[in-house]
Chains A and B, each alone.
Chain A
Amino acid sequence: MNPPLRRALGHWRAPVCVLAAAAALLFYVPFLVVVATSWTGGEFVLFPPQGFSLRWYASVLGDPEWAQAFRTSLWTSAVATAVAVVIGTLGALALSRLRSRTGRRLLRTLFIVPIAIPPVAYGAGLYLVNIGSEPLYGTFVLFVLGEAVLGAPYVFVLVANRLEQTDPTLHPAAATLGASWPMILWRVDLPLVLPSVLRGTLFAFVVIFDEVVLSVFLVPVGGRTLPLQMLGASQEAFSPQLTAASTLVSVVAVAALALFGLAARIRKDPP
């Protein structure tokens, strides 16, 4: 149990609180500014906003170009997330079964690489693969796979952590009780990691949905994801459409996170 903050910090209390407040401001101020500029009545992204109106929200929601970009992002992110969840979960399960130290280290490194290499380099590399792969060129296939690889590490890390925390004798216990390996996977491992898989799904989806670099390189001509649409809007008109759209996306993301937190709390409290 921690001692009360006041006594633990002594006269460091004031500077620590100031630092914490500054960090909080750094996190929230840009977001709040974006939100505020989106309800402007004027034509430009300005702070403080000029008056109050929801016209830019109406404009975004009514614009077929934005709607199309949103739909594209939604389905590509959903498919990519599904692939990421499968890859990440399988990787974590493999990690929990590997005995060789070197093998474990290699597998861990493999799943960190997508986060570690610069996205532009990764995008450029995939772009070269894309124009070289004839039947796939012009489709979303490599784009979706690339996004999946970017999302997989989040699932991998969360599920691997969960598996590391479980009692290592659960597997031998299940085996001596007569369970075959598919049954151990289905009845022991998967139920145990399910909460972590769901958390990983959420993280991967958010990361993939917001990802812009791969979109630039890999989205086929004529196609547009939401981040691409936003990037375009910021470079061309820089109208409050952009901030209105990003506010909408943020609200949806926060709502999803809140829903997930609520579900987790309900699961924990026994009825």
Chain B
Amino acid sequence: MTVGLTVDDVRVTLGDNEVLKGVTLHAEPGEFVTLLGASGSGKSTLLNVVAGLQDVDRGAVLFDGVDVTRRAPRHRKVGVVFQSYALFPHLTVAENIAFPLHAARRPRAERAATAQRMLDLVQLAGFADRKPESLSGGQRQRVALARALAADPAVLLLDEPLAALDKQLREQMQVEITRIQRHVGTTTVAVTHDQVEALTMSDRVAIMHDGRLVQCATPEELYRRPADEYVARFLGEANLVEAHGPDGRSPVVTGTAVVRPEDLQLVDADTPAGRWVFEGPVQLVSFQGSRYRLELLAGHAGTILCSLPPHTDVGALSPGVHARVACLDPGLVHVIDHRRPALDHVPEVVA
């Protein structure tokens, strides 16, 4: 089973703290959407709202257009993978996975068959009779995922699913979770503060900041055309430069240009000064393996960060030397237009 998920203008106040300030989000059936944000941005609260574990002050949650806002968690048909995995320590792996079927009073034979099928899906066949305490972190993660999916939920919710794993295992599980999600096709909402995780696993990423959803778009769209300065800085590194008028000469500041460090390259002194050319004394050159990192102090624009390919000849660049960098393809520069009123949610781009 898979449904389209709609969160409509949800507001949540905890004590004096407005945690969600009107969040609207839509996920198509089968889509993988990740909520990405710093801690305190409200992303986990939003996940709990979808799960039914958090009441809302206003707004609605809809599964395929059906309002489930007042429905108890156990009647929502959601599968949740908690950060701690929340496996029942006194039950075996198979009993854990069959728990939702037990709750739904399914016959014993069906429970056993489903547990077996889910164990195969997460590649843990042979672990059925083990207790959670004898499993590694990655294995527990898989069991939690299998249990969440066992009753064929309408929506799969992942709360920081990989936070407790070490880096290597995390990368492996990112691929694994994506594979399983594609296989079962369940609409999925994940929460993370790890941008690589969000970009790797998701169809779309929703950036949360201070109780609001700032932008929800495909990873490429978010990176190339961030809705505001927060998104531009949050995802990767960005030079934010004042942008003037349509021709670049107007004195009126009309927006902020986002120039990605890797879109800049070293240019000769005889390159004509243009809109996306920066020059000034070098502040720092450092070799970082796959890239050189160069920082210029470029007048009004402030510090400009530039990421150069590793074969660049940087022999002449030492701190204090005057250098010139440019983005030669203006199409790579995105201007955040301040003349347009800020939107709470940017219209979605249908892929």
A binding-site residues for B, Cβ under 8 Å: 166-167, 169-170, 172-180, 183, 187-188, 191-192, 270
Contact = CB atoms under 8 A, between A and B. Distances in A.
A177 B90 contact: no
Given A173-B80, A176-B73, A176-B79, 9 more contacts: A166-B89, A173-B82, A175-B52, A175-B72, A175-B74, A176-B78, A177-B100, A178-B103, A270-B131
Contacts of A173: 80, 82, 86, 88
A191 B99 CA distance: 14
B100 A178 contact: yes
B351 interface: no
A177 B101 CA distance: 8
B88 to A, nearest CB: 6
Contacts of B345: none
A176 B84 contact: no
A175 to B, nearest CB: 4
Given A169-B84, A191-B90, A175 B99 contact: no
Contacts of B157: 176
Interface string B67-102: 000001111111110111010111000000001101
Interface string B50-66: 01110000000000000
Most A CB atoms within 10 A — which of B78, B103, B148?
B103
Which of B74, B76, B131 neighbours the largest number of chain A CB atoms within 10 Å of its CB?
B74
A179 B90 contact: no
B11 interface: no
Contact of B99 (A172, A177, A180, A192): A177
B207 interface: no
B50 to A, nearest CB: 10
B343 interface: no
Given A172-B80, A183-B103, A178 B74 contact: yes
Contact of B74 (A169, A176, A187): A176
A201 to B, nearest CB: 19
A169 B90 CA distance: 15
B43 interface: no
Given A170-B88, A172-B53, A172-B73, A179 B103 contact: yes
A169 B88 contact: no
B104 interface: yes
Counting chain B CB atoms within 10 Å of each CB, the highest count among A170, A175, A187 belongs to A175
24 contacts: A166-B89, A167-B84, A167-B86, A169-B84, A170-B86, A172-B53, A172-B73, A172-B82, A172-B86, A174-B103, A175-B53, A175-B73, A176-B52, A176-B74, A176-B80, A177-B103, A177-B148, A178-B75, A178-B77, A178-B104, A179-B74, A179-B103, A183-B103, A187-B99
B76 A176 contact: yes
A177 B147 contact: yes
Given A169-B82, A183-B103, A187-B102, A176 B51 contact: yes
Q: Which interface residue of B51, B88, B102, B131 has the most chain A CB atoms within 10 A?
A: B88
A218 B104 CA distance: 50
B227 interface: no
A58 to B, nearest CB: 47
Interface residues of B, number: 29
A149 B99 CA distance: 37
Contacts of B76: 176
A180 B103 contact: yes
A192 B90 CA distance: 7
Pick the most buried of A169, A180, A188, A270: most chain B CB atoms within 10 A of its CB.
Answer: A169
Nearest to B101: A178
Contacts of B232: none
A172 B103 contact: no
Contact of B151 (A169, A170, A177, A180): A177
A176 B100 CA distance: 9
A78 B220 CA distance: 70
A233 to B, nearest CB: 47
A192 B86 CA distance: 13
A270 B129 CA distance: 12
Contact of A192 (B75, B89, B100): B89
Interface in B305-342: none
Top 9 A-B pairs ranked by shortest CB distance?
A173-B86, A178-B103, A177-B100, A169-B86, A175-B73, A179-B103, A169-B82, A191-B90, A176-B80
B240 to A, nearest CB: 39
Nearest to A166: B89
B36 to A, nearest CB: 22
A174 to B, nearest CB: 7
A184 to B, nearest CB: 9
A268 to B, nearest CB: 11
A181 B104 CA distance: 13
Contacts of A169: 82-84, 86
B89 A172 contact: no
B129 to A, nearest CB: 10
Contacts of B84: 167, 169
A120 B102 CA distance: 51
A65 to B, nearest CB: 47
Contacts of A192: 88-90
A173 B103 CA distance: 12
Nearest to A179: B103
